[in-house]
Amino acid sequence: MKKILIGLILGLMTQPLLAQDQEPLDLEKAIQQGLENNFQVKIAVETISLRQGEIGLGWSAFFPVVDAIYTRNFANEDVTQTFVSDPETPREILGAKSRSENFTVAAIYGFRPEAVVAIKRLGQLAEISELDAKVAVENTVAAISTAYYRLVLELQRYEVLERTLELSQARLDIAQAQYELGGAGKRDFLTAEVDYNTDLSLLKSQSQVIEAARINLNELMALEPGVKFFVNDTITVGDELRLLDLEENALLQNKQWLITQRQENVAFLQLRELQVARLPAINLNANYANNTFNSDAGFLIQNQRSGFNYGGNISFNLFSGFALNRRIQNAKVQQRIQNYTVDQFEIQLKSDLYRAFNTYMNNRELLEIEQRNYAVAKESSEIALERFRLGIASYLEFRDAQVNLLTAENRLITSIYNIKEQEIELMRLSGKIYFENSSDQLPLN
C-alpha cells in the first residue's frame, strides 16, 4: 500500500519520556490495553448478559409452575359432644388429640399468545445490546487512535521547536561573536537572545502540551494519570478512500444504524404483542394430594385421602376500561416515531459521512501544498542562515526565514494529522474501524 510518511521520526523527546525503564507503546498495544480496561466497554459487555438473562425469563412463560407443599398440624383440646341418639348424655373428652398431615404437588400452566411475540422482542433487544457493545468498542478504538496520534503530533511539534531552538542558538552564537569582535552592535545580540528565550519558552510549553496529551491517552486506556510510556512513531496516511465504498459499507456495517433498525423492529413487535393480547389465554392445572387426619374425638377417628385432580379454563378479556385500546394506540404512535427516526438517522449518517469526506479530501489537497511550502521554507532558511553567517543578511531576514520554516513544518505535520483524524472518523462512520484494528483482540465477534 502506498503511504505518505512524515519525514520527521521522533528522536529527541521530553526528559520524562526518555526514561529507560518506560515501556514502549504503539497503537496496537494502546488499543488492546483500552479494550481490556475501558469501563464503557466492560459495562456494555455486561449489559449483554442482562439481556440474555431477560430472554431466559421470557422462555419461562412456556413452562408450568410446579409447587410441592407438605404440612403437619397438631391439636390438644377439651371436647364436649352431644349426639342426636342420646341428647341427654353429652360426651366429654379432656385433652383430645388430633393431627393432620397433608402432602400436595400442584402444577399450573398458562399459555398466553403474546408470550411468543415477547420472546421475539426480547431477542431484538439482545441484538441491540450486542450492537451497543460493538459501538462502545468502535468508539473506544477511534478515541484511542485519535488520542495516540495526537500525542505523536505533539511530540513531533516538540522536535520542530527543538530544531528551531538550535537555529536560534546558532544565530545567538554568531551575533555574540560579531558583537564581541566589534562587527555588530549590542542590539543585534540582545535581539538574538530575546528570540532564543522566546523559542525556549515555546519548547517548555510544548512539554506541558505533551503531558496533557499523554494523560488523555491514559484516561482512555483506563490507566492512572501518572503511568509513563515511551512513544516512537510516525503518522501514516493510507490510500485515498472512496466515498461510494464508504457510504455502501456504512449502510451495512454502521452499528448505530443497525441499532436504529432493530429499534424499529422492537416498536413493531411491541404493537404486535399488544394486539395478540386480545386472543384467549389457556390455563391448565393439576395436583396430587395425600391427606391424613387422626382425631380422638368426633365421628371419624381417621380420614385419609389421596389422588389426582386436574382441570383447565380458557380466559378471554371482555372489558378492561379501554386500557388495552389506549396502549395499542400509543404503540402505533411509537412505531411511527421510530419509523421517522430511522429515516432521520439515515440522512444524518450520510450527511456526517459527506462532511467528513469533504474535510478529508480537502486536507489531502492541502497536504501537497504544505509539502511544497515546507521544501521552499527549508531551502530559504538554509540560505538565510548562510547569508547571516557571512554577514550579508540582517537578523530580521534570518528570523523571518526561521519563523517561516517553523510555521511551514507545523502546518505540514498538522495537515498529516488532520488527514489521519478524518480517516479514523470515516472508518468509524462506515463501520470498518472495528475490523481494521486487529479484530482478534476485541472482546466481541
Q: How many Å apart are CA 112 and CA 119, to the nearest integer?
A: 12
83-110 confidence digits (pLDDT tens): 777 777 777 878 878 888 899 998 888 8
Mean pLDDT in residue range 6-24: 41
302 forms beta bridges with 294
5 forms beta bridges with 236
Measured in whole angstroms, the distance separating CA 85 from the mean position of its chain's CA atoms is 87
Q: What is residue 389's predicted lDDT score, i.e. its pLDDT?
A: 75
356-392 confidence digits (pLDDT tens): 999 999 999 999 999 999 999 888 888 887 887 777 7
**Three-state secondary structure call for residue 100:** strand
| 20 pLDDT more than 70 | no
Query: C-alpha grid cell for residue 304?
Result: 385419609
333-358 confidence digits (pLDDT tens): 999 999 999 999 999 999 999 999 99
Query: C-alpha grid cell for residue 315?
Result: 380466559
**Three-state secondary structure call for residue 256:** helix
| Residue predicted with more confidence, 320 or 331 | 331
At residue 21 the predicted structure's pLDDT band, cuts being 50, 70 and 90, is low
H-helix segments, 181-237: 186-220
Q: What is residue 8's predicted lDDT score, i.e. its pLDDT?
A: 27
DSSP state at residue 17: G
Mean pLDDT in residue range 129-156: 93
Q: What is residue 5's predicted lDDT score, i.e. its pLDDT?
A: 28
Mean pLDDT in residue range 131-153: 93
Hey, how many other C-beta atoms are within 10 angstroms of the C-beta on 392?
Answer: 9
| 180 pLDDT more than 90 | no
Measured in whole angstroms, the distance separating CA 292 from the mean position of its chain's CA atoms is 63
Kindly list the structural domains of the chain, giving each domain's residue range(s) and its CATH number in brackets, ordered by start.
Answer: 4-441 (1.20.1600.10)
Q: What is residue 16's predicted lDDT score, i.e. its pLDDT?
A: 37
Q: What is residue 298's predicted lDDT score, i.e. its pLDDT?
A: 66
At residue 118 the predicted structure's pLDDT band, cuts being 50, 70 and 90, is confident
Which of 40, 65, 248, 31 is closest to 142 using CA atoms? 31
Mean pLDDT in residue range 39-58: 85
Mean pLDDT computed over every residue of the chain:
84
Q: What is residue 147's predicted lDDT score, i.e. its pLDDT?
A: 94
With pLDDT > 70 as the criterion, what percentage of the chain qualifies? 91
Q: What is residue 143's predicted lDDT score, i.e. its pLDDT?
A: 93
| 1 pLDDT more than 50 | no
Q: How many Å apart are CA 104 and CA 102, to the nearest integer?
A: 7
| 7 pLDDT more than 60 | no
Q: What is residue 290's predicted lDDT score, i.e. its pLDDT?
A: 87
| 18 pLDDT more than 90 | no
Q: What is residue 291's predicted lDDT score, i.e. its pLDDT?
A: 87
| 313 pLDDT more than 70 | yes
224-282 confidence digits (pLDDT tens): 998 888 888 888 888 899 999 999 999 999 999 999 999 999 999 999 989 988 888 88
| 163 pLDDT more than 80 | yes
291 forms beta bridges with 102, 305
Which of 413, 417, 416, 420 is closest to 157 using CA atoms? 413
Least confident of 13-22, 25-34, 144-153: 13-22
Cell 496516511 found at: 237
| 301 pLDDT more than 80 | no
Which of 126, 108, 113, 106 is closest to 57 using CA atoms? 126
At residue 49 the predicted structure's pLDDT band, cuts being 50, 70 and 90, is confident
